[in-house]
Structure 1
Amino acid sequence: MPQTDIPVRLGVQVQPQHHSGYFGIRDAARRLEEMGVDILFNWDHFFPLSGDPDGTHFESWTNLAAWAEQTERVELGALVNCNSYRNPDLQADMARTIDHISAKGGEGRFIFGTGSGWFERDYDEYGYEFGTAGSRLDDLAEALPRIEARWAKLNPRPTRDIPVLIGGAGEKKTLRLVARHADIWHSFVGSDDLQRKLDIIARWADTDGVDVSELVLSNQIRQDDDHTEALYDAGVRLFTIPIGGPEPDFAAVERALVWRDSKN
């Protein structure tokens, strides 16, 4: 652990904020697929996270369904979905449906990226109970088995075993959920602390009797190339670069693609 005998993949998180209209997001997705990125991500919030707090913003899951229809090759998902905003069984059904929309005659391309939530404004303005960090993680722990069970019951079932990406690095709860449920672990943990976190995941895996030998490590492309190289050396194989409106930085994506290809 982790799984390192796989190619480096590049995701781009198209932040759904500060675009003059949805066409900006649509056109960015088309351009990024043509450029050769591997995964398109957005995020699951209702308001901008930077810049003008009342700037333009679009919802995550409906955006993902549109991408699933629009694109042909890239995988797609939220980085990350907020578990608090939707019933777990509904999340499973939505994921299954986007999986089928994206299949285009083959396997689906949806990645179920999820987390416990943190942005209090979303909760307050949309009427969700914010609770505590611990209670939100407990809710996620309860939701993940329900989601997996619903996938097994749906007719039709998903076209493939939908990959589960879990974001976060909390050692007592989040990393145990990673060990139990995740195919991909996404974090912002630096290379100097990554092995210690992986050891914790391994201990949780031993405790719960699960296999984490195929876990894929995910992190973010950094402006400091040496930092990104160190993450690669530590085992990270999925790197994501964020871009947002109103003028997405495609030049930064091009540089990241060159770096990805140099590793493959």
Structure 2
Amino acid sequence: MRFAIKTRPEHTTWERMRDVWVAADEFPVFESAWNWDHFYPLSGDLTGPNIEGWTSLAALAQATRRIRIGCQVTGMIYRHPAVLANMAATVDIISGGRLELGVGAGWNQLECDAYGIPLPPLRERFDRFDEGVQAMIGLLRDPVTTFEGRYVQLTDARCEPKPVQRPHPPITIGGKGPRRTLGAVARWAQEWNVILPEPAQWRPLKDTLLTRCAEVGRDPSEITCSVNVRIDGDVPLEKAIGAALDEISAYTAAGVDLIVLNLPLHAKPEILRPLAEAVAPLS
């Protein structure tokens, strides 16, 4: 099993989040670290602070040296795909080739309403997502990209300088929609991430992904399958780690490749050593 961490950029400070990532960089068992792409908190007081994902990711790239970094996941509705491609290329360069490019169709009605960002109906949202992923791949991979989509049009478009990772940073697609999301994973992703209430729900989704891969002739072994496991901050740490280990065991038996440990709100660097010691024997 492989392991990563995820920090919640809500109700926190830049310094606290940075210190956790810098500390995680020192534990080889954690291969990657993730934040999220939201502008409002997702829990508690929704008027509270939430650190923006991509600007903080660039700074975290500079603050760390080994651990891979990513946003889980970027809402395609928030930025034009060409803008996002340029952002991704720059962060990959800043990190020395450690970016994981996490993307999803987007969903947060509250943020969209507050900022005047259109949130299209689900079908159109996924049509835009499919076009956006293809446009980004072209920009990150090719010297010049022309793309004629319904929603995205590129004409002799360039994205320079190119990212360190070639042909492009690995793409993580998040979500569990059996047709559109898993279809996109089969076509374009190097990692699939899903958040589920219980491990028993994962295997049927993986079987659907295998079907989507067969439909497009994709080798499913090329796709890392990751899930998130929450470390409960409302109970003593020993108990929280024990519960997480039980969940990890179930996901391991189901065939998951990578566990993303969702750290509690207000987590401090000191939480990482007992977590690393608990999961290292499983890696």
> Residue deviations 1:72-100, cap 9 Å, x none?
00100101111100011111111011000
Does the 8 Å contact 2:21/2:60 carry over to 1? yes
Question: How many residues are matched?
Answer: 251
Instruction: Pick from 158, 161, 165 the counterpart of residue 156 of structure 1.
Output: 161
For residue 193 of structure 1, report the CA deviation from its aligned partner: 3.3
- 1:93-140 Cα offsets, whole Å, 9 max, x none, are 11011000000xxxx000001111111111111211112233222211
Question: Quick one: which of 250, 254, 271 aligns to 1:234?
Answer: 254
In structure 2, the gaps of 5 or more residues are: 144-158, 231-242
CA deviation vs aligned residue, 1:160-193 (integer Å, no higher than 9, x gap): 1311111111112111011111111111244323
Q: Distance in 1 between matches of 2:264 and 2:9?
A: 7
Q: State how far apart, in whole Å, the 2-side matches of 1:102 and 1:249 are.
A: 23
Are 1:123 and 2:131 an aligned pair? no
Match of 2:212 among 192, 204, 211: 204
Alpha-carbon distance in structure 1 between the residues aligned to 2:80 and 2:162: 18
Task: Provide the rounded CA distance (Å) in 2 between the counterparts of 1:228 and 1:132.
Answer: 35
C-alpha distance in structure 2 between counterparts of 1:249 and 1:10, whole Å: 18
What is the CA–CA distance in structure 1 between the aligned matches of 2:107 and 2:182, rounded to whole Å? 17
Q: Report whether the alignment pairs 1:187 with 2:194.
A: yes
In structure 1, stretches of 5+ residues that fail to align are: 1-7
Among candidates 57, 62, 72, match of residue 64 of structure 1: 57
SS of the equivalent of 1:15 reads coil
Q: Is the 8 A contact 2:76 2:105 kept in 1?
A: yes
Cα distance, 1:249 vs structure 2: 5.2
**Separation in 1, partners of 2:275, 2:122:** 34
Per the normalisation by structure 2, the TM-score is 0.83
Please give the TM-score of this superposition, normalised by the length of structure 1. Answer: 0.88
State the shift of 1:252 in Å: 5.0
State the shift of 1:242 in Å.
Answer: 2.0
Matched with 1:5 is none
Aligned residue identity for 1:200: T
- Per mean C-alpha deviation after superposition, the further-off stretch among 90-99 and 233-242 is 233-242
Q: Distance in 2 between matches of 1:199 and 1:35?
A: 33
Q: Aligned partners of 1:179, 1:165: CA distance in 2, in Å?
A: 11
Matched, 1:29 2:21: yes
Cα shift at 1:196: 2.1
* Equivalent residues in 2 for 1:94-173, closer than 5 Å: 94-103=87-96, 108-152=97-141, 153=143, 154-160=159-165, 161-173=168-180
In structure 1, give the amino acid aligned to 2:103: T
Rounded to whole Å, the distance in 2 between the matches of 1:220 and 1:255 is 18
Structure with more relative contact order (C-alpha pairs < 8 Å, separation 6 or more): 1
Q: Distance in 2 between matches of 1:157 and 1:9?
A: 29
| AA of the residue aligned to 1:131 | P
Residues 32, 67 of structure 2: 8 Å contact kept: yes
Indicate if the aligned counterparts of 2:86 and 2:160 stay in contact, CA closer than 8 A.
no
Matches for 1:43-82 after TM superposition, within 5 Å:
43-82=36-75
Percent of matched pairs sharing the same residue: 31
Structure 1 pair 148/125, CA: closer, same or farther in 2 (3 Å)? same
CA distance in 2, matches of 1:243, 1:126: 28
Q: Which whole-Å CA distance do the structure 2 matches of 1:17 and 1:210 have between them?
A: 37
